[in-house]
Amino acid sequence: MAGEVRWRDCRTCHAVTAPDGAELARGGRSGPNLYGIANRPAASDSAFRFYSNDLRAAGAAGLRWTEDNFVAYLAEPDQFLQEVTGNPDAESGMHVQLRSGARELFEYLRELSN
């Protein structure tokens, strides 16, 4: 599965852990848990304390991780956030870009969470 292959690039920072603690996809803890990411509000993992202020503001203003938003964010995180917030100085806090395979990754994460 292409999404699972893409996950290998993400697992350095992220894990997919179910609410009961089951690790569905092992990974790091320097990024938020991606369990249930599909249509989840941005910056809403309460266990993750290191969201940028701009990403928190975007989430509070209604940004959700739809497939299209997820793909656009991964392609260019800061630019996406700048466009969404209207703030040319907005920063995402994520320093990795994924220009291909993001749709497959989104589907993989959605399947893991179901």
* Model pLDDT for residues 38-60, shown as the tens digit of each residue: 999 999 999 999 999 999 999 99
Find out whether 24 and 35 touch, Cβ atoms under 8 Å: yes
Q: How many Cβ atoms from other residues are within 10 Å of residue 35's Cβ?
A: 20
What is the rounded average pLDDT of the residues 17-41?
Answer: 96
Find out whether 16 and 27 touch, Cβ atoms under 8 Å: yes
User: Domain of 75?
Assistant: 2-113
Angle, helix 67-75 to helix 102-113, in steps of 10 degrees: 130
pTM attached to this predicted model = 0.94
Contacts of 92 by beta carbon, 8 Å cutoff, 6+ apart: 52, 54, 55, 73, 77, 78, 80, 81
What's the domain count of the chain?
Answer: 1
If pLDDT is split at 50, 70 and 90, which confidence band does 1 have? confident
CA atoms within 13 Å, Cβ hemisphere of 106: 19
CATH number of the domain encompassing residue 86: 1.10.760.10
